[in-house]
Structure 1
Amino acid sequence: MNAPTQAPAHRVRGTEGADLADPAFWRLPRSRRLSEFARLRELDAPVRFTPGNGSRTPFYALVRHADVRAASRQPLLFASAPGATSPEPAPWAKALFGNSMVNMDGPGHAGLRRTISRAFTPRLLAAAEENISAVAARLVDETAAEGPGDFMRSAASRMPFEVICDLMGIPARHRTAILARIDDASEYVGVQRRGRARLRVPGRGLRSLARMQFEMAGIARERRRVPADDVISALVRADVDGRALSSRELGAFFSLLLVAGVETTRNAIAHGLVLLTAHPEQRALLRSDFERYADGAVDEIVRHSTPIIQFRRTVAAECELGGRTFLPGEKAVLLYASANRDASVFADPDAFDITRSPNPHLGYGGGGPHHCLGAHLAKLEMKALFRTMLERLGDVRSVGEPGLVDSNFDNRVGTLPYAF
């Protein structure tokens, strides 16, 4: 078989256009990027892109809903290992911090996921659902007292963080430091550094991740001695295939849950406020009967904003998909942001419609073994927060443009001025 860097480019009709491998593409206005995805979806087959940096491997962009969904659900053909993010995690990083579930396949992934799923018992989830409403009420009351400002520093960021910390059982004394570690660890994921950011001390994000895992290891030791009714206690007493979870496995899961669970949900909440502000008729419909329209509103916010833009897969076996043959070792990028605007699946895909039904968006990973474990929790958080804000803050709305971050990984909001 040809190595990925030697495989010939697959020529298709009309491949001229923007280069998804060029960091400049991800600095284009979001509307321009979505237009380019729409053009790529009309081509005969996935297009191959080659990063300008010779040390990086070419990749094929999967942009159609059917292709992204199929690749998500066939891990034997499109594997998450050795890494689902770009760049792929280095072997030394996995050895030091543990291998995240998003980078695993097969029995190892299934066993770890099964053990973690068991930790989220019905009793814990029921308590979490009740707690979510209480957290939303408290945060909105605090928001009302503080007054308008930056939404990303108030309820949007604090809601998912507080809920996850409560569910996991992270003591209040650790939370300020852990939140700072999360921000440092995720600040430049998928972002090309420019200007003064180039002078940033190398490895700061990794050091923040290491410190966060060190703090979490200390909490885990406490829970081994004195268990509580929380996820950390359940996991430190759990086992995978007859063996206890190692400190690195626990640390990798904690990092995934804290970083991914907080970052994606707070971005979805922020985009939701922007969308409801820009579409007052949808906002009025939601307020008219929240219980009736809430689930549809959350799904449409996730579809329209797509918090995670892409994940990477490595071809594990020769296969056909989307009009071309993939060879082992080749890379494919699953572009959820494009799949969720596919006109062959979604009527008027650029419209924001909370009554859209069906809404088979791929915002939680497209199904399959890597479907987001926290999807249900994220939906509950979004519904609780929007319900409480609409009830208690009345005309809560975004004002001005959101400060979007030019990332090729997530649809991140840096700042969002708002008023009520």
Structure 2
Amino acid sequence: MDAPTEISAATPAGTPASATPDLADPRFWQLPAPARAAAFAELRRLPVPAYFGDRATGRGFHALVRHADVVEASRTPAVFLSGPGVTTPEPARWVRMLFGDSMVNLDDPRHAQLRRIVSRAFTPRLLGRVEEDVRRITTALVDEVERGRPEDFVGAVAAELPFQVICTMMGIPAESRRAILDLVNRTSEDIGVARPLRRRFRVPGRGLAALARMQGIVAGIGRERRRRPAEDLISALVTADVDGRRLTGRELGAFFTLLLVAGVETTRNALAHGLHLLTVHPEQRALLLADLDGRLDGAVDEIVRHASPIIQFRRTVAVDHELGGPGGPLLRAGEKVALYYGSANRDEAVFPDPDAFDITRSPNPHLGYGGGGPHYCLGAHLARQEMTALLRELFTRLPDARSVGAPELVPSSFDHRVRSLRFTF
């Protein structure tokens, strides 16, 4: 980050953001998308990261909104820690003890150890079967669209594809899948900054109870696979032996939950945004349909950049750190930073005409799967596979498939969630 000469290493970052909407205020995330984009553009022009919240109590954070800053925080894990928690609020200690730690909330060496176990389980043979499963499930879903003519693209296609792929890859029996999907929906139904009034008075433990039941189902399958391994990811995870370690039942449950949240939610939202973007930008749609094989990869990357399914993750500063190098803004040990991927993906210093949707954009170094480093998304390749297969199948067989009206969004400071999207063909 280029800092003006008057900012020295002794000058803490944290320009008060009095002239812009407050990113810590839930009302900001209910503003129209153009207003939020304009606010982030203003924040990117500030000489130092803006600080939101109460500095005196430490209940605030520095907003990292530039591409270079998000990449630096992602690739410097010794300075920017994930262990205290990357979401807001941070997971309570008793919740982490009961349900296990998600990999996103771990630092090395434990994070590296678990990631090695998971990576070892993704054998070439397993990956080959996953590719076949993606094609088969995609074909079946478009078959069903043709037969049933559903109205909601999210429920019928965008959510169903990654869910079925992950369940098949993990080896979840067909008879358990609907129950798991219902539990997933319960765990995430209250995420968002504008919950309906009826949900604000529900028992707080409802989501945790659903999570416990879901992890119980998966742990039971894991115990069965230890006795009788099959050719699926659960078997590979519970029988893999990396440096004398394999996943415990609690670790397996935490990993499955992460797969469902990171793998299902993000891909479903990217697909829904993608169909709408290709509808409201007919010139880009025409480019894609004229050369599906040549343009699909670029279209997928541009959809992920433009939609940015994950809005932010947080890190905790381990030691005093000058952002961008000597002379840069000073971040103090113990302070929090928020990595705003959507803002980084619109950084004018990296992306010419950043608000434009352009499937020919090249290069496209978007941060839709993270900014690199040890927490770069394990499922990035799978997500690209799913999106590419679905868009190819859909537009080959139903080239006039398009959204009807605007997507119904869930106001959230965490993910760019689409509740529903009407479509037709």
With the length of structure 1 as denominator, give the TM-score of the two structures: 0.95
1:159 to 2:164 alignment: no
For residue 193 of structure 2, the aligned residue among 191, 194, 212 is 191
Whole-angstrom distance in 1 between the partners of 2:246 and 2:299: 41
- Determine which of 105, 108, 111 is the counterpart of 1:106: 108
* CA apart distance, 1:403: 0.4
Q: In structure 2, do the counterparts of structure 1 residues 14 and 22 end up closer, same or farther at CA, with 3 Å as the change threshold?
A: closer
Distance 1:222 1:14, change over 3 A: closer
Match of 2:25 in 1: 22
Tell me which residue corresponds to 1:94.
Answer: 96
Please state if 1:366 is matched with 2:371.
yes
Deviations 1:341-391 (A, max 9, x none): 001100100001111000000000111000000000000000111111111
The change in CA–CA distance for 1:51 and 1:415 in structure 2 (over 3 A counts) is farther
Partner of 1:389: 394
2:241 corresponding residue in structure 1: 239
Q: Which runs of 5+ in 2 are unaligned?
A: 1-10
Residues 88-136 of structure 1: CA distance to partner in whole angstroms, max 9, x if unpaired? Answer: 0000001000000000011100010011011111111111112111110
Say whether the 8 Å CA contact 2:370–2:377 is kept in structure 1.
Answer: yes
1:154-198 Cα deviation digits (max 9, x unpaired): 011100001111111111000000111111112223535352221
Cα offset, 1:288, TM superposition:
1.2
Q: In 1, Cα distance between the equivalents of 2:169 and 2:252?
A: 15
- SS at 1:154's partner residue? helix
Aligned counterpart in structure 2 of residue 150 of structure 1, from 152, 156, 161: 152
Aligned to 1:285: 287
1:339 to 336, 344, 352: 344
Distance 1:335 1:241 in 2: 36
Candidates 122, 131, 134, aligned match of 2:133:
131
Partner of 1:48: 51
Alignment partner, residue 412 of structure 1: 417
Percent identity of paired positions between Structure 1 and Structure 2: 61
Residue in 2 aligned with 1:33? 36
Match of 1:350 among 338, 341, 355: 355
Contact 2:15–2:51 (CA under 8 A) maintained in structure 1: no
Asked if 1 retains the 8 angstrom alpha-carbon contact of 2:13 and 2:330, the reply is no
Q: Report the CA distance shift for 1:56/1:189 in structure 2 as closer, same or farther (over 3 A).
A: farther
Q: Which amino acid aligns with 1:374?
A: G
Displacement after TM superposition at 1:55 (Å):
8.0
Q: Which residue number in structure 1 is paired with residue 265 of structure 2?
A: 263
Q: What is the identity, as a one-letter code, of the residue corresponding to 2:377?
A: C
TM-score (norm 2): 0.94
CA distance in 2, matches of 1:388, 1:11: 48
Local SS of the residue matching 2:159: helix
Equivalent positions of 1:209-248 (< 5 A) are 209-248=211-250
Query: In the alignment, which residue of structure 1 is the partner of 2:256?
Result: 254
Paired AA for residue 39 in structure 1: E
Kept in 2, the 8 Å contact 1:86–1:190? The answer is no
Change (3 A) 1:179 1:125: same
Q: Which runs of 5+ in 1 are unaligned?
A: 1-7
Matched, 1:327 2:332: yes
Instruction: State the secondary structure of the residue aligned to 1:149.
Output: coil
Q: Structure 1 pair 400/122, CA: closer, same or farther in 2 (3 Å)?
A: same
RMSD: 1.8
Cα distance between partner residues in 1 of 2:119 and 2:163: 20
Report the AA paired with residue 335 of structure 1: Y
State the match for 1:64 in structure 2.
66
Q: Partners in 1 of 2:248 and 2:24 — Cα distance?
A: 37
CA distance in 1, matches of 2:188, 2:266: 11
Match of 1:84 in 2: 86
Shift of 1:303: 0.1
Flag the 1:190–1:377 CA change in 2: closer, same or farther, 3 A: same
Cα distance in 2 for residues equivalent to 1:289 and 1:299: 16
Q: Aligned partners of 2:379, 2:280: CA distance in 1, in Å?
A: 28
Structure-2 separation of matches of 1:11 and 1:186: 32
Contact 2:317 2:337 in 1 (8 A): yes
Please, which moves more after superposition, 58-67 or 244-253?
Answer: 244-253
Aligned letter for 2:413? N
